[in-house]
Structure 1
Amino acid sequence: MEFYNDNERFISILSDYGFKATFGNESDTTFLKKALQALIKSPVAIREIEFIKNEMTAITLDSRSGIYDLACTDENDNHFIVEMQLSEYPEFIQRMKFYALYRFNTLVKKGKYTFEGLQKIYCIGILANDIFSHIFDYHNVAVLRNEKGELIDDQMTFVTVELAKFKMPLSEIRTDLDKLIFTMKNLHTITEQTQFPTFWNEEWLNVAIQELDKKAMTPEQRLNYEMIISANALAVKNEKKKIEEAELRIKYETVKKMLASKQFSIEDIANFSGTSVDFVNTVQQKINSES
């Protein structure tokens, strides 16, 4: 999926820029408050949001952009961690547990290692692809329950959205959650305001959409957008280079081992390793020079 396309009027919410301009908009949290309420399926509106620094940067690095994408608290001191995952990541749930448990341990330490009155932690994962092949629903809320489905504890809640599973037609969309997911999947495909569904006139969604309208960008916003595009392109280029270098090392070691066995011809080694005869000869020369 292409998240940066100059032919499109609206920037995808799923892009780094789009996520930061909507979910991470510290100057106007109208969209974020409503989106979080929808994602955790709470009947109670969130009145205030305070962003908190990502304290995990010294522990682990995410290959796309930072650690988790957003961390904040509401007026009741509920904690929210939001992470966007665009590529395949089968172990994503393990990463969510790591984030939530790190936050849990931080709260326990702040409470001087007591467990009374711990604030709630909501760890929210928004995924472009499927991770639960055995689950049909595109939105799941998980807490600790026993085998009868009875609640044991809901101090930590894990919320996942699998965008690829959302196929609801526009005519059936009713809830804020479905409006949110539809917008995340489709905004960047819209070219004209006449194509807007009626619910995009709702304040919380309209605020987000205005932030992603390239026609309405200030020069500063445009510069920031282009800088992020440039940084992402460089990151992709560097990641591709790392992969190519790793593949080259594997091929080199494979050729080296096959040459050492003295059981294969140069042509057979080249075919087996997916390299060329010249590459095999180069490895042979390097081995000879080192011996």
Structure 2
Amino acid sequence: MTLEGLHERYVNFYTDFAFKKLFGTEANKELLRSFLNSLLDGQEVITSLSYLNSEQLGTQETDRKAVFDVYCENENGEKFLVEMQKAEQQFFKDRSIFYSTFPIREQAQRGDWNYQLKAVYTIGILNFSFDDSDPNYFHHEVKLMDTRTKKVFYDKLTFIYLEMPKFTKTEEELVTMSDKWLYAIRHLPALWDRPKALREKIFEQFFSAAEIARFNTCEKIEYEESLKAFRDWYSVLSTAQNKGYSEGLEKGMAEGMEKGMAKGMEKGEKNKALSIAQEMFADGVPLSTISRYTHLPLEILQQLLTKE
């Protein structure tokens, strides 16, 4: 095994290895605590965290299990699920809701119980955008709400989604700790020195833990494998976008899917689209993402790619 391609000083946060090393290990637990406190903006001050079993089973033997990226609780017993998603997944909101049911159900007590629950927070660090209506709205905080009064109906279930591509603040514009954490996460692999705006001691620990030169041989190999998987995934998406489809995508966006598909079929591009779709599907890319990049209707992809 060679250690080629590790030319950056710091890791790419969106790799599975880096995310779990920086936010999912006892040695770096303070990094996660600081990050979570920055998101909660003083609403809940977390003084300590404990990691919990990331593999959760249902209450019945036949229930589907869930494997969380990072699962922990604070000193008050409140639960935190922290997930990193490097690319858009079909039904990712459904996945968040489904995962949140596990820390809710595990609070059930045997015998007499009054159903009082501890709060559950689900945090998604997303390397994609799911809401195109506002390019500046990247920090979504979702709770159960009364649709008439617009007031929070239940404040113990919170979903926080961070659309990282929308975070475009420069170093000079960083004000809050949340700003600083998002800047550090997004720009980590492109940095060579710790930015002056990130003077807090917690970022000294963050950059030290993220420095590849400090890894042992096993860690470097694990990181390289994780980085390769990330680059392969990104390459598949980029290929679908660029490989002979620049003109087709532009016209499809301007003229609509049906007209774009008709023109693509006239030029013999349908077979090429299907070929790329098959490659993307084989690499685990969600059908919704394949449809968006290839301009093939979702129902057609479902028929061609998911049949037995």
TM-score for both structures, normalised by structure 2: 0.66
- Alpha-carbon separation, structure 1, partners of 2:17 and 2:138: 24
Q: Are the structure 2 counterparts of residues 29 and 55 from structure 1 closer, same or farther at C-alpha, using a change threshold of 3 Å?
A: same
Q: Are the structure 2 counterparts of residues 99 and 227 from structure 1 closer, same or farther at C-alpha, using a change threshold of 3 Å?
A: same
Q: What value does the CA root-mean-square deviation take over the aligned residues? A: 2.9
- Residue 149 of structure 2 is matched in structure 1 by 148
Check if 1:137 corresponds to 2:115.
no
Q: CA deviation at 1:5?
A: 4.6
One-letter identity of the residue aligned with 1:202 = E
- Residue 84 of structure 1 is matched in structure 2 by 84
Q: Are the structure 2 counterparts of residues 166 and 229 from structure 1 closer, same or farther at C-alpha, using a change threshold of 3 Å?
A: closer
- Residue 64 of structure 2 is matched in structure 1 by 59
The within-5 A match list for 1:1-291 is: 5-56=5-56, 59=64, 67-108=67-108, 110=109, 114-135=113-134, 136-146=136-146, 147-191=148-192, 193=193, 196-226=194-224, 228-229=226-227, 232=229, 274=271
Q: CA deviation at 1:208?
A: 1.7
Q: Pick the structure with greater CA Rg.
A: 1
- Alpha-carbon separation, structure 2, partners of 1:29 and 1:10: 19
What are the ranges of 5 or more consecutive residues in structure 1 without an aligned counterpart?
62-66, 241-270, 276-291
Q: CA deviation at 1:190?
A: 1.2
One-letter identity of the residue aligned with 1:118 = L
- Alpha-carbon separation, structure 2, partners of 1:201 and 1:75: 28
TM-score for both structures, normalised by structure 1: 0.70
Q: CA deviation at 1:96?
A: 0.6
Give the secondary structure class of the aligned counterpart of 2:99.
Answer: helix
- Alpha-carbon separation, structure 1, partners of 2:196 and 2:80: 29
Q: Are the structure 2 counterparts of residues 150 and 112 from structure 1 closer, same or farther at C-alpha, using a change threshold of 3 Å?
A: farther
* 8 Å Cα contact 2:171-2:197 kept in structure 1: no
One-letter identity of the residue aligned with 1:129 = F
Matched-pair identity in %: 22
What are the ranges of 5 or more consecutive residues in structure 2 without an aligned counterpart?
58-62, 238-267, 273-308
- Alpha-carbon separation, structure 2, partners of 1:45 and 1:154: 16
Q: CA deviation at 1:86?
A: 1.0
One-letter identity of the residue aligned with 2:127 = A
* 8 Å Cα contact 1:40-1:141 kept in structure 2: no
* 8 Å Cα contact 1:21-1:208 kept in structure 2: no
Q: CA deviation at 1:227?
A: 5.2
| Equivalent residue pairs, number | 230
- Alpha-carbon separation, structure 1, partners of 2:119 and 2:84: 21
* 8 Å Cα contact 2:52-2:71 kept in structure 1: yes
